[in-house]
Amino acid sequence: MRKESSYWVAIVHRLSGIALAIYLPVHFWALSRALEGEAALESFLAWTDDALVKAGEWGIVIALAAHLAGGLRVLALEFLPWTGWQKTLAAGAAALTVAVGLAFALAL
């Protein structure tokens, strides 16, 4: 098993991308509730008050932050000359992910 931090950052980036790809159709379905009328939207919004749904919201925000940070890292790898600070950038991406997740969790 690889121990390089960049390997794990790449794995997290891919897994967060898969999570977002799974979430997107569910998000569109949720938005369609508003098109079906006020009652359908209200019943959906009542369901979103569930603690498990709130945890899922937190998880998707974490996935979004991780995917954003990982994508910025990939862009940096593509367009910037690299030296030994690649691990620092990977740690910064992880810190950004945790910070966004904590900010969202505290705002709930």
Ranges of each domain in the chain: 5-107
The whole-model pTM stands at 0.68
Stated length of the chain: 108
Sequence-distant (≥ 6) Cβ neighbours of residue 16 within 8 angstroms:
62, 63, 64, 66, 67, 70
Q: So what's the pLDDT on residue 93? A: 82
Q: So what's the pLDDT on residue 83? A: 65
Q: Is 82 left (phi over 0), alpha (psi -120 to 50) or beta?
A: beta
Q: So what's the pLDDT on residue 84? A: 63
Q: So what's the pLDDT on residue 79? A: 82
| pLDDT tier at 25, thresholds 50, 70, 90 | very high
Reported CATH class of domain 5-107: mainly alpha
